[in-house]
Structure 1
Amino acid sequence: MNAEAHSPDTLMIRKLESNFPLSDEEKQALKGLPVQITHLKADQHIVRTGDRPHHCCLVLEGFTCLFKLSYEGRRQIMALHIPGDMPDLQSLHLEYMDSSIAAISPCTVGFIQHEDLRNICERYPRLTAAFWRETLVDASIFREWLLNIGRRDAYSRMAHLLCELLIRLEAVGLVKDSNTLLMPLTHEELADTIGITAVHVSRTMQALRTQGLVETKKSQITILDWARLQEAGEFDPLYLHLRDDS
């Protein structure tokens, strides 16, 4: 991936255009947004529950997660964010963060001040709609995750998660050879994501390999049988609300 593909404006535009058409003028305005680039280590917090951020975060490289902790300190990962995502866009309108966001892998992120985002939305009302749509899609994904954790077994949960990540990464041009994706999550992080134990994650991944659905190599996962993986995960990409330009 070249440097331009990882640039803040390119990723933001590509992500917004995956479900909302932008004009050339709107794209140019987004390219003019001031962005503060920051490099994060794995597990480093971006925002914590109770924070009052004055900027939004744009993921440029790596994965981040949104999570909450129980009183006993047990973590539930409630969303995964990939390059192009703005995981705390809701902070534009909610004064306090009600969940935490942290890097899962080493990450590069860009911080955009709320004031700059509000100004561009005032000048270009359709960008307000584009950002609003992003938060609506996030809510749609959250509802699907709730169904996934609450009503599917571990095998289906894992298959569904892999299907989702492949489609989302493909939408922003970050999938190798149409069926290979990077999965920088440890088994413990996957366990916190789909609500099972790390041991169960190992068994579930082994079952997917044995069935000939996936092949794994370190943090790289290759989908060997897309149709059967979709069937195993009861996966229908409708909830991602991606544009169909066919």
Structure 2
Amino acid sequence: MSRRLWAGGRLQPASVCRVSRCNGEAELLESLYLNLSQHDALSEEEKALLTSTISIEKYVDVGEDIVSEGTRPTYSTLIIDGLAARYRVLEDGGRQFTSLQVAGDFVDLHAFLLKTMDHGIVALSPCHVAAAEHSKLKTITEQAPHLTRLLWLDTLVDGAIHREWIVAMGRRSKLSHLAHLICELFIRLQVVKKTREMSFYLPLSQAQLADVLGLSVVHMNRVIGTLRRMNVINWTNHMITILDWERLVTIAEFDPTYLSMVREPR
């Protein structure tokens, strides 16, 4: 296959931007393997099938759409590295984020069946992404039922995350909301080995994070300051260190059940 990339879900000439082939290098998919295998063991055959399916990669700059609302992708996109967000834009230009996507996440696996994107995915940091052609994903559904169930479960966890975000936006205090997001991101990044002890890198400014949480920058600064004064977290140069996990969990009322992290037969 010649080098290609996609725009709006469709293949484009490789000269449009930097792009390279994955060439079956399994290490590029390590985060995906870790993400799926937290639910149940992946066989070497299943890993090989995933590796052969995902063959196109590219780099997306901050603020660019990885997948745009209204498009009909012919690929499903995987984040290899970086941070992205699902969002909707209203007629008045207002934007609402509905979840964050981290390394190891398929951002639009549901589009394999739903076809048309009803929301967009934007890069919040420089993102390294890869794509799996829908025709090849269909082959997985026909030949690998266990792997199909794990991919299906991945979309179900996405839905569970959305439910938690609805609860947070509607009912949690600003302090609890931020604490819950920190807990969620730490757990999800820990699964894909993107944490260091109790620390993780969050490549967002406080203004960007305020936008994600639907808060003003003033309120964002206040709740961060409150968590710092409580000696629950330290936040320096995009590095968040959790100083008191138990207290953070209590403030957040965080229950990781919705992330379905129990490893059992699926």
TM-score by length of 2: 0.86
CA distance in 2, matches of 1:109, 1:24: 23
**CA distance in 2 between partners of 1:11 and 1:244 (Å):** 16
For 1:203, which of 216, 222, 226 is the aligned residue?
222
Structure 1 counterpart of 2:216, one-letter code: T
Q: Structure 1 residues 208, 60: CA separation in 2 closer, same or farther (over 3 Å shift)?
A: same
Structure 1 contact 6–61 (Cα < 8 Å) conserved: no
Q: SS at 1:7's partner residue?
A: helix
Task: Find the aligned partners of 2:40 and 2:28 in 1 and give their Cα distance.
Answer: 18
CA distance in 2, matches of 1:28, 1:243: 24
Partner of 1:129: 149
Partner of 1:157: 177
Q: CA deviation at 1:167?
A: 0.4
In structure 2, C-alpha distance between the alignment counterparts of 1:97 and 1:188, rounded to whole Å = 27
Instruction: Decide which structure has greater strand share.
Output: 2
Q: Write out per-residue CA displacement over residues 99-137 of structure 1, whole angstroms, 9 at most, x where no aligned residue.
A: 000110011001111111111221111111111101111
Q: How does 1:17-32 map to 2 (within 5 A)?
A: 17-32=37-52
RMSD over aligned Cα atoms? 1.5
1:174-201 superposed Cα distances (whole Å, 9 cap, x missing partner): 1112x10111122232222222112211
8 Å CA contact 1:154–1:204 kept in 2: the answer is yes
Number of residues of Structure 1 aligned to a counterpart in Structure 2: 240
Q: State how far apart, in whole Å, the 1-side matches of 2:171 and 2:26 are.
A: 37
Task: After TM superposition, give the deviation of residue 12 of structure 1 in Å.
Answer: 1.5
Q: CA deviation at 1:21?
A: 2.4
Structure 1: state its 5+ residue gaps: none
Q: For residue 207 of structure 2, give the secondary structure of its aligned residue in structure 1.
A: helix
Counterpart residue number, 1:194: 213
Output one character per residue of 1:26-50: Cα deviation in whole Å (capped at 9) or x when no partner. 1222222242110111111111111
The yes-or-no answer on 1:224 pairing with 2:232 is: no
- Structure 2 counterpart of 1:82, one-letter code: V
What's 2:254 paired with?
Answer: 235
TM-score, length-normalised on structure 1?
A: 0.93
